[in-house]
């Protein structure tokens, strides 16, 4: 049997499994989605968002890319973020990095990798920001692990720097932003950073909405 056919067969079994527990499962699921969480994770096949968090369909709104990056010129993530925050009104955004991340590892090399170098450039920027701390770590694996952590913390910052999040903090007093790390060797998630609504950022990143009414939900990136 060709490998991909296994996936289609597994789907049939999954449908039967769900229906045997609840005959209306899919009809109910199709009506609406009200996820409480936006998950921003790495595309790595070993970090499946729902599986590691024990969540079901309908619970997580998910965006994954190489090395769980929040890049301010990436229309894809900004669209996901705006929809999750302004329409779905998620209460929590989780950025989840993971030890052993290939994207982070490759960002530390001088290998020219083609187009992906442009993406990994953002991780090199994180490295430069923390180079003194990182270069004081002698063990290469420990240094990589620390860069994975710092990269995740920086993505939490990047989220808080968007006008989407700042407006939502002002008008809805949500979402809370979390930075987590997944350990491939143990399967465990670890909390690393948290930013509550209204957290003050460096002044240069704060938008001033002046007298704009706090009830204005806003309609997009400005
Ligand atoms: Co990764």
Question: CATH number, domain at 151?
Answer: 3.40.1050.10
- Is 106 contained in some domain? yes
Task: Answer whether residue 152 is part of any domain.
Answer: yes
Question: For residue 108, how far is its CA from the centre of ligand 1 (angstroms)?
Answer: 13
Radius of gyration of the chain (CA): 19
96 tagged catalytic = no
Q: Is residue 216 part of a domain?
A: no
Q: Active site residue: 17, 46, 72, 141, which one?
A: 46
Q: What is the pLDDT of residues 67-105, one digit of tens each?
A: 999 999 999 999 999 999 999 999 999 999 999 999 999
pLDDT tens-digit series, residues 116-162 = 999 999 999 999 999 999 999 999 999 999 999 999 999 999 999 99
- Residue-level pLDDT at 215: 53
In a domain? residue 51 = no
Could you list the residue range(s) of the whole structural domain that residue 147 is in?
36-45+62-205
Domain contains 146 = yes
Task: Kindly list the distances between the CA atom of residue 197 and the CA atoms of 147, 170, 206, 216, in Å, as whole numbers in the listed order.
Answer: 26, 8, 13, 17
Would you say residue 217 has pLDDT above 60?
no
Closest CA to 92 of 59, 139, 123: 59
Residue that the structure tokens 């948290």 belong to: 194
Q: Among this protein's residues, is 185 annotated catalytic?
A: no
Kindly give, in sequence order, each residue whose CB lies less than 8 Å from that of residue 66, ignoring residues fewer than 6 positions away.
Answer: 42, 43, 102, 103, 116, 119, 120
Distance 123 CA to ligand 1 centre (A): 12
Distance from the CA of 40 to the center of ligand 1, in angstroms?
12
In a domain, 122, yes or no: yes
Residue 184 lies in a domain: yes
Candidate list 101, 122, 145, 178, residue with the active-site label: 101
Annotation marks residue 98 as catalytic: yes
Name residue, tokens 């969480």: 37
Catalytic residue among 63, 96, 98, 167: 98
Distance from the alpha carbon of residue 165 to the mean position of ligand 1, in angstroms: 24
Query: From ligand 1's centre to the CA of 61, what distance in Å?
Result: 19
Number of domains in the chain: 1
Q: Does 219 reside within a domain?
A: no
């Amino acid at each position: 049997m060709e490998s991909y056919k296994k996936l289609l067969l597994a789907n049939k079994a999954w449908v039967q499994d769900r229906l045997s527990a609840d005959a209306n499962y899919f009809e109910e699921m199709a009506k609406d989605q009200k996820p409480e969480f936006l998950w921003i994770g790495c595309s790595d096949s070993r970090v499946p968002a729902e599986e590691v968090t024990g969540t079901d369909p309908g619970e997580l709104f998910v965006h994954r890319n190489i090395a769980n990056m929040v890049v301010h010129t990436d229309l894809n993530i900004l669209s996901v973020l705006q929809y999750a925050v302004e329409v779905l009104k998620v209460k929590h955004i989780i950025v989840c990095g993971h030890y052993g991340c290939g994207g982070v590892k490759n960002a530390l090399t001088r290998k020219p990798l083609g187009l992906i170098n442009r993406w990994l450039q953002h991780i090199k920027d994180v490295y430069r920001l923390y180079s003194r701390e990182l270069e004081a770590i002698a063990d290469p694996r420990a240094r990589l692990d620390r860069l994975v952590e710092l990269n995740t913390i920086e993505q939490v910052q990047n989220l808080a720097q968007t006008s989407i999040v700042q407006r939502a903090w002002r008008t809805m007093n949500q979402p809370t932003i979390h930075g987590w790390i997944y350990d491939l060797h143990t399967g465990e998630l670890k909390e690393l950073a948290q930013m509550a609504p209204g957290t003050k950022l460096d002044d240069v990143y704060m938008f001033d909405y002046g007298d704009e009414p706090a009830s204005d939900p806003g309609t997009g990136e400005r």
